[in-house]
Amino acid sequence: MEVEKKKEEVRQPEAIKALAGKYLTFRLASEEYGLEILKVQEINGIMNVTKVPKMPPFVRGVINLRGKLIPVIDMRLKFGLPKIDDTQKTCIIVVQVDGDGSARLTIGVIVDNVSEVLDIQQSQVDPPPAFGTQINTEFMLGMGKVGEKVVILLDIDKVLTTAETAQILTVAETK
């Protein structure tokens, strides 16, 4: 029984089983983050975002992307970072999010700037640290180590709660 317990402690939680693969990296403040490239639809420069009333503060509004309204969230505000003015490097990354039992949702995430696409091997991924990060570790697949660089690998499907996804989905459907 004691041996089984120790085995369980060594296993990594489900949330940090990052797959080897390509990640689009971007910056928020001084941190580098990565999104699984297969979740990314496109990258756009900052564009006109229409505010929507009664949304959480991190929801910037919606954009019209080729006739389709896409909800946009400000990743700085979602992660509790200070708001800054948009710059020429500010981007909207359009991603596919799979909610808990809900339909797939297309959203835009505002980031300070997009860096590069990295090919990260499974051996380069460590579990998220127990402390010292500004974001909830439930959002994290792990920490990618590429050379001297450390990248926080995000699980974009878990960045929004079920309630937040439902609220944002109503905006996308009603506008």
Residue range 125-149: mean pLDDT, rounded = 79
Rounded to whole angstroms, how far apart are CA atoms 77 and 142? Answer: 21
CATH topology of domain 2-174: OB fold (Dihydrolipoamide Acetyltransferase, E2P) (2.40.50)
pTM for the model: 0.84
Residues 124 and 145: beta-carbon distance below 8 Å: yes
- Mean residue pLDDT across the chain: 84
Q: Is the pLDDT of residue 107 over 90?
A: yes
| Confidence check: pLDDT of 169 > 80 | no
pLDDT of 7 above 50:
no
**Percentage of the chain lying above the pLDDT 70 cut:** 81
Percent of the chain having pLDDT more than 90?
58
The domain limits of the chain are 2-174
Using an 8 Å Cβ cutoff, are 142 and 114 in contact? no
pLDDT score, position 166: 80
DSSP string, 47-109: ---B--TT--TTEEEEEEETTEEEEEEEHHHHTTPPP----TT-EEEEEEEE-SSSPEEEEEE
pLDDT surpasses 90 at 54: no
For residues 26 and 111, the answer to whether their CB atoms sit within 8 Å is yes
Provide, for the chain, the percentages of residues in helix, strand and coil under a 3-state DSSP scheme, each rounded to the nearest 5: 25, 40, 35
pLDDT of residue 164: 85
